[in-house]
Amino acid sequence: MKKSMKAALWSALVFPGAGHFLLKRYARGLVLFVPTVLALLYLVNDMLQQAAVIADKIMSGAVPADVTAITALVAAGGKDSTMLELAGYVLLVCWVAGMIDSYRIGNTEDRNDEKKL
């Protein structure tokens, strides 16, 4: 398999920046890896906080253990949705940019390898 396809698949299926690490472009990989990790941590932290609040309400009896009531609480949310949207966009941009850039770098290396032969 060509380096370009392998790097793009690693960035798409494993984690943003993984394809760059495969191509030994560590600085570029970190530029994608770090914001992705931070965005994921923010999103997971928000989800866990919201789940804990809902679980506390169910345990105290304030909310019935009914799917409809729980869904309404989840839909109401509790945190600033602007930051959640921003974290989601950062995640999406890093993932797509990682795939495209690792493919581009891998394609350049593939062409250089073909010229050497």
Query: Is it the case that residue 65 has pLDDT exceeding 70?
Result: yes
- Per DSSP, 14 falls in state T
Cα–Cα distances (Å) from 23 to 10, 13, 28, 99, 108, in that order, read 10, 16, 10, 13, 11
Query: Is it the case that residue 13 has pLDDT exceeding 90?
Result: yes
Please tell me the distance from the alpha carbon of residue 115 to that of residue 75, in angstroms, as a whole number: 56
Rounded to an integer, the average pLDDT of 83-109 is 96
pLDDT of res. 58 = 86
- C-alpha angle with apex 88: 87 to 89, nearest 5 degrees? 90
Rounded to an integer, the average pLDDT of 62-71 is 84
Tokens of 74: 């989840």
Please tell me the distance from the alpha carbon of residue 56 to that of residue 101, in angstroms, as a whole number: 45
pLDDT of res. 78 = 62
